[in-house]
Structures are given as C-alpha cells and as structure tokens.
Amino acid sequence: MLNSLLPAQSIRSAKGTAGKLEGEARQTWYLQDVKSVKAYGVQSDKTIAELIGGMQPKKKVVVAVIDTGVDFEHEDLKDHLWVNADEVPNNGKDDDGNGFVDDINGWNFLVDDSGEDVVYANLEATRILRLSQSLQEKGEAYPAWLTKEVLESAASIFNENTDNLNGYYQIVGVYRKVDSAVVSILKDTAYGFEDVKTIESQDPMVLDAKRIFEVFEKLEIGKSDLRELDQMVTKYTDYWLNLEYQPRAEINFTTENYGNNHVGGKHTGHGTHIAGIIAADASNDLGGRGIASEEAEIMILKVVPDGDENDIDVAHAIRYAVDNGAKIINMSFGKGLSPAKEQVYSALSYAASKNVLIIHAAGNDADDSDEVGNFPNDDGLDENAQQSYLCIGAIGPRKNKRMLASFSNYGAETVDLFAPGEDIYSTLPGNKYGFLSGTSMAAPVVSGVAALIWAYHPELTAVEIRDIILEGALDLSKKKVILPGTRKDKVPFGTLSTSGKVINAYDAYNLAEKKG
C-alpha cells in the first residue's frame, strides 16, 4: 500500500498539521533551512546556490521510482525522465534486446492475466486468506511460507481493516443522507458548506445537514475529504477486502518481462508527486521544483496498484532498474505481510552488488517498526547489502516538540533517518500541483539529495553516499519530541532511529567534496 496518507488518515490528523507557514514558504519549506522557515528543511536550495553554483553535473543519476506510475507528459517532468536511448519508440520491437518491448521511460509490471492494465488490487491479507480458503477446499497442502503465524497476522490485518471500514461507513452513511437532502434543494452537487447555511427550510433532514456540516467544518473536515472517504469505502468493499475480486489469478510470474510500457494512465498521482520531489524542473516558474532537477533522471516502474503491491512485481522492478542503469531506487510503499519476501531480498541484494542505493519509506501507522513489520525491509539482507539501504521516517514543518509527523513510523533499529514528509508541495497529474503528506514524500527527499551529491561525485559508491548522508545529517538526538501515535508522550529523538538525525543536503555535500 502507498506510504502517503489515505483520506481517512488525512481526516484523522488534519488539524494543525500544516503549521503556520503560508504561500511560498509553505510550498518550499522542505527545501530551505531552519533560519528561513523555522523548520528542518534539507537546505538543498542553499546547496545549489552556494556550493554547486553554475556547475554542470559530471554524470546524471538515474533514479528509479517504483510506484504507481508517473504522468510522463507533465510540464515539469517530461524533460527530466530517463530515456532508453537504445529503444526505438513504439515500433513494437525489443530493439535493445533487454526483453522489454518499447520500454522508453520504464516499464509497467501491473497487468492482469490478459496483459491489460490493473488499477485496483486486494490487500495482501485478503489474498492470503483467499489462498488459505482455496487450499482447504481442495484439500491441498499449504506452501512453506503460509504458516500459522502468517495466517493469524493476515486475519488480524483483515479484521482491523474491516473494523475501519465499518467506522468509515458510519460517517459516509450520514454524509450520503444529508448530501442527498441538500442536493435536492440546491440542485447543485458542487455546493459548499456556506451554501448549506443559507438554506431556509425546517425539513428535519436539512436541519440535520446544517448541524452535521457545522461539526465537520469545526473539525476541519472538508466536503472533498468526505467525498474521498466515500470513494475509499467503495474501494474497501469492492477491491481491498473483497475475497471474490482476483484480477491476476493466472498471471505468469515466472518470467520477468510480463507487462507493457504503459507507465502513465490512471492512479498515477502518488508516483507523479514522488517524481516531482526528486526532479521537477527548477528552471521554470510553473510550480514546484525538484531537489535534483538538473542532476536526476526519473525511470518509471509501475508496480503499485490501488491496494497492496505484489512481491514478485517489486522484485522484477528492482532487477529491471538495476539492469537498465538506475543508481538509486525509491520505494515509497509498504505492507505488513510479504509472502514472497525472499525474492524481494534477493533482488535487493542484487541491487547492492551492482552499486545501487535503495531508499524506502518507513510507513504511516505511527508504529515502532522494530516491533511491527513493514515490508520491504532489510531484515533478510546480509551486512554488506544493508549498507546500501536507507529507511526514512517523516518530519513536518515545525522545529518544536511536534516536529515529527504524527503518522510516521519509527524504530531505533529499523529506521535510519528522518526527512521532511508532511505538507510537501509537488507535481500531480494533468499539469497540476498540490500538497501530500507521508513517509512516501520523505523517501524521495532523501533520493533527491543522494542524486544531487552523486551527480557531482560519480566516483563514490552507494555505500559511501549512504554514509555521507548519515554523517552529514543534523544531529537532534537529544531533542525531546512527541512520540507518533500519542498526544503528549515525549521521548528523545535519538531513540526513534539508528542515527537520531534529520537529513541535511548542505553538510552532506560538503562532506562529499572532502571525500571525493
């Protein structure tokens, strides 16, 4: 599942997350420094202005964004994509012999049995429970990975999400009733809360609508949030928790080149936002600007559906990225169960052996990742491969005790570093821009900084880049912060990650200059 906030999570934590920043400061806070915006930005703007100046990168860095796909025609991204120069566009041939036909900007592994694009998928827990049910009915043996512990975890996740659905449905049920009453009077589905206040009627449903919308307004829950929650209830029911929905039952996962080159299309908002954080054009005045606009090229690997990603797709995407020249792989997704995790670990080890840096988002459940698994992770990697892997938590636009994003996972042993990930402004499909929050946004901040450094110091290894990022980060280990998932519990920041630090591009780049 994507590691940015779902609508319900946004509703739950919306109040007060944006801080006091407005306008340009709000849009660019994560690129600045604490003196400019009173928040722990990465100082990438200062790095580019003072340390890089007008220098040209020695070698552009290919960053593979394994995600939902990207709007490759976006005005701020189209000139900053990886292009497979050995492939002739749209001639129906595998010109470079890599096994993928017309893979100009990347590849889409997210297809169904007949090769058609997939948008929606089950949760992994749903898939596991369906498999267990099917094997029981057929009297067949369970595979080795399908243990009692896995089944119990799947049942727990499935039941927890079912409980969530029931709670959301109560809100949506109320909203649907009052919405219908208001639309019948205003004859306009695009009404706002202010329009409801002007209705003069003693109809009980209208009076209920006024009271209910007043409560939503006080909670800073907008009508768009309610519509999104309504849509999410449908996704839970029709796809995520639906044991009968199975779009990929017979797909052949044994080959690596299934799929197509449809790297854009529906459900690409998340991946488009990620790509923009890394490499949106910084030389125009169209919207946001990427941390490594002149240094990075985005390789698009479409793997993440609206639902949980498939381990085999992830493994194949990692290998594609490595084999086709990516130096950094950004993975802003995660889930609690991973049936084919050994194949993912094998692909990650392969990436490490080829000098590729892996950046993964920590997750948005306000959990201690040392205790609650979030896959993919580096648990199954040897020590050498772990040195090419970074797990990233999220901070928000504040430097006080509430600097951590309230949703961010953490872990003294599993999370390596924190980066800006709340209220991040970046590209969205259709030449649009907007704010998203999540560790999904923190991971590409780190990927962008890594690309910014590596482009001017290509002689460095992935391990050295990782070490430089950690060593050059801002040490806040003694600072007391509110523990995610609580309201008042304060803990030392140093207990929430292996480093106790927040990424800082300026100091990391200076370190690279000394070591390079």
Mean pLDDT value across residues 451-459: 98
**What mean pLDDT comes out for the span 472-479?**
98
Determine the pLDDT at residue 20. Answer: 67
Mean pLDDT in residue range 406-435: 97
CB-facing half-sphere around the CA of 433: CA atoms within 13 A: 19
Yes or no: say if 357 and 462 are a contact pair by the CB < 8 Å rule.
yes
pLDDT tens-place string over residues 168-201 = 989 898 888 888 888 988 888 888 888 888 888 8
Kindly state the percentage of the chain with pLDDT values over 70: 95
pLDDT-derived band at 4 (thresholds 50, 70, 90) equals low
One-letter identity of residue 395: I
Angle at 180 between CA 179 and CA 181, to 5 degrees: 90
Q: What is the pLDDT of residue 14?
A: 35
Q: What is the pLDDT of residue 15?
A: 35
Q: Which residue has the higher pLDDT, 417 or 35?
A: 417
The two three-digit tokens of residue 124, written as one number: 């992994």
Q: Are 314 and 376 in contact (CB under 8 A)?
A: yes
CA gap 325, 87 in Å, rounded: 14
Considering only residues 447 and 170, tell me which one the structure prediction assigns the higher pLDDT: 447
Per-residue DSSP letter, 19? T
Q: How far apart are the C-alpha atoms of 2 and 9, rounded to whole Å?
A: 12
pLDDT, averaged across the chain: 92
pTM of this structure: 0.93
Over the stretch 80-122, which tens digit does the pLDDT of each residue have? 999 999 999 999 999 999 999 999 999 999 998 888 999 999 9
Q: Annotate 447-474 with DSSP letters as a single string.
A: HHHHHHHHTT-TTS-HHHHHHHHHHTSE
Q: Is the pLDDT of residue 2 over 90?
A: no
Work out whether the CA dihedral 146, 152, 157, 163 comes out positive or negative. positive
What's the Cα-to-Cα distance from 371 to each of 200, 333, 368, 374, 407, rounded to whole Å?
A: 55, 18, 6, 10, 16
List the structure tokens of 188.
């306009």
Residues whose CB falls within 8 Å of the CB of residue 23, separated by 6 or more in sequence, listed in order: none
Regarding predicted confidence, which is higher, 219 or 60? 60
Question: Do the strands 328-331 and 417-420 form a parallel or antiparallel pair, or are they unpaired?
Answer: unpaired
Q: What is the dihedral of CA 162, 125, 414, 18, to 10 degrees?
A: -40
CA of 389: how far to CAs of 78, 284, 358, 501, 503, in Å?
28, 33, 5, 16, 15
Mean pLDDT of 347-353: 98
Q: Which CATH number fits domain 7-119+257-515: 3.20.20.100, 1.10.10.10, 1.20.1540.10, 3.40.50.200?
A: 3.40.50.200
pLDDT of residue 477: 97
pLDDT-based confidence at residue 8 (cuts at 50, 70, 90):
very low
* Mean pLDDT across 328-346: 96
From CA 321, how far away is CA 310, in angstroms rounded? 17
For residues 454-479, give the mean pLDDT. Answer: 98
Strands 328-331 and 296-302: unpaired
Average pLDDT of span 343-352: 97
Considering only 28-32, 227-231, 446-450, which range has the smallest mean pLDDT?
227-231
pLDDT at 318 over 50: yes
Q: Worst-scoring range by mean pLDDT, 142-151, 213-222, 430-439, 474-483?
A: 213-222
Which residues is 300 bridged to in the sheet?
65, 106
pLDDT band with cut points at 50, 70 and 90 for residue 251: low
7 — pLDDT class (breaks 50, 70, 90): very low
Does 497 have pLDDT greater than 80?
yes
**Rounded-to-integer distance, Cα 330 and Cα 444, Å:** 6
pLDDT for residue 240: 97
> In the chain, helix, strand, coil percent, each to 5?
40, 15, 45
| Domain chopping of the chain, boundaries | 7-119+257-515, 124-240
Distance separating alpha carbons of residues 429 and 493, to the nearest angstrom: 36
- Please, are residues 135 and 141 in contact by the beta-carbon 8 Å criterion? yes
Q: Mean pLDDT across the stretch 388-393?
A: 98
Q: Which residues neighbour 510 within 8 Å (Cβ) at sequence distance 6 or greater?
A: 51, 472
Which of 19-23, 36-40, 404-408, 454-458 has the weakest average pLDDT?
19-23
Q: How far is CA 255 from CA 68, 93, 316, in A?
A: 21, 18, 9
Stretch 295-324: mean pLDDT: 97
Indicate if the pLDDT at residue 209 is higher than 90: no
Angle between helical axes of 148-186 and 223-235 (0-180°, round to 10) = 130
What is the C-alpha radius of gyration for the chain, rounded to an integer number of angstroms? 23
Q: What is the pLDDT of residue 456?
A: 98
Predicted confidence at residue 114, as pLDDT, reads 84
